């Protein structure tokens, strides 16, 4: 059992708000520093192909301003690999990316793309970047992630969170069962298990309670909540809920 579960704060939506006006504010670097001061264990940020969240210059600025690890989310493209290798973040989370999606809607297809992804993550791993694969809690994807030598998987909690929001309890519980089984399978294969996407105060407890889950990455809800209560208070409440889920 991992006792202290890490909380990574995704600051993408501070950048989204900044980009809406095309200026410099609100500053995602300030959000990253504030999240660290509020007790975050890591900062997550996604450099999308269309740069709708953070932009290239934000990477160095964030890394220069925080002392906690940066988890750099990226698509499995040559461009992103070169950017990751030039900045050397602590971790790189490989995510699927489609231009037309509103957010990262599904997990990465690892089982159907094993040899390319094995070759792709090689240079990142060799450079000392901790690679994680953002996948669905699907036994075939988890097994493929282990086969290609990824040390970490992040299991996509989006479907579980969506069903929870819809009030479809049976579907939510089926997704939760999949996540529970996926976490166990991944841990049995020696993978470190993270989870994220769509987590909020209402749905986090059963996820945070899973003994195999070493890290949660949470963004959209906390940045939204920060509008009302401030980022430190929003993060502190999430941390309190995670800790009470594990107590
Ligand atoms: N983890 C990964 C891999 C993601 O792509 C995202 C969304 O960018 C998150 C966690 C955070 O999701 P949310 O913003 O819904 O909390």
- Catalytic annotation on 73? yes
C-alpha 42 – ligand 1 centre gap (Å): 13
What beta strand segments (E) does 83-238 contain? 91-94, 130-135, 152-156, 192-196, 213-218
234 in any annotated domain: yes
71 in any annotated domain: yes
C-alpha 25 – ligand 1 centre gap (Å): 22
Calpha distance 37→18 (Å, rounded): 21
Kindly give, in sequence order, each residue whose CB lies less than 8 Å from that of residue 68, ignoring residues fewer than 6 positions away.
36, 40, 41, 42, 43
38 in any annotated domain: yes
Of 175, 194, 197, 215, the active-site residue reads: 197
Calpha distance 81→86 (Å, rounded): 9
Domain harbouring 122, CATH code? 3.20.20.70
pLDDT reported for residue 1: 63
Range of the domain at 104: 6-246
DSSP string spanning 193-213? EEEESS--TTTHHHHHT-TTE
- Any atom of ligand 1 within 6 Å of the Cβ of 46: yes
1 in any annotated domain: no
- Any atom of ligand 1 within 6 Å of the Cβ of 96: no
Residue 75 CB coordination number (10 Å): 18
Which residues sit opposite 9 in a β-bridge? 43, 218
179 in any annotated domain: yes
- Any atom of ligand 1 within 6 Å of the Cβ of 197: yes
Total number of domains constituting the chain: 1
39 in any annotated domain: yes
Tens of pLDDT, residue by residue over 114-125, are 999 999 999 999
- Any atom of ligand 1 within 6 Å of the Cβ of 73: yes
Contact 106, 113 (CB under 8 A): no
Of 13, 36, 53, 73, the active-site residue reads: 73
- Termini Cα distance of the chain: 12
- Catalytic annotation on 194? no
62 in any annotated domain: yes
Which residues sit opposite 111 in a β-bridge? none
pTM confidence score: 0.97
22 in any annotated domain: yes
- Any atom of ligand 1 within 6 Å of the Cβ of 107: no
Q: Which of 46, 53, 101, 196 to mutate to test the pocket of ligand 1 (most atoms within 8 A of CB)?
A: 196
The ranges of the chain with pLDDT < 70 are 1-2
Tens of pLDDT, residue by residue over 117-150, are 999 999 999 999 999 999 999 999 999 999 999 9
Using the atom order of ligand 1, give the atom closest to the CA of residue 218: 16
- Catalytic annotation on 197? yes
């Amino acid at each position: 059992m991992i006792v202290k579960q890490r909380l990574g704060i995704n600051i993408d939506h501070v950048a989204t708000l900044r980009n809406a006006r095309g200026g410099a504010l609100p500053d995602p670097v300030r959000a990253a520093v504030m999240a660290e001061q509020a007790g975050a264990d890591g900062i997550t940020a996604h450099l999308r192909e269309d740069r709708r969240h953070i932009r290239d210059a934000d990477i160095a600025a964030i890394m220069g301003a925080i002392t906690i690890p940066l988890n750099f989310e990226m698509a499995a493209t040559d461009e992103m690999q070169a950017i990751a290798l030039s900045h050397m973040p602590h971790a790189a989370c490989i995510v699927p990316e489609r231009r037309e999606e509103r957010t990262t809607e599904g997990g990465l297809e690892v089982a159907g793309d094993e040899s390319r992804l094995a070759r792709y993550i090689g240079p990142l791993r060799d450079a000392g970047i901790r690679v994680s694969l953002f996948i669905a809690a699907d036994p075939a994807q988890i097994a493929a992630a282990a086969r290609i030598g990824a040390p970490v998987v992040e299991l996509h909690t989006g479907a579980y969170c969506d069903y929870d929001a819809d009030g479809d309890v049976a579907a939510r519980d089926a997704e939760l069962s999949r996540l529970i089984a996926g976490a166990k399978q991944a841990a049995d294969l020696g993978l470190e298990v993270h989870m994220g996407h769509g987590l909020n105060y209402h749905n986090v407890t059963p996820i945070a309670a899973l003994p195999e889950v070493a890290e949660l990455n949470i963004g959209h809800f906390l940045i939204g909540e920060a509008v009302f209560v401030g980022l430190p208070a929003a993060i502190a409440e999430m941390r309190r809920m995670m800790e009470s889920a594990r107590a």
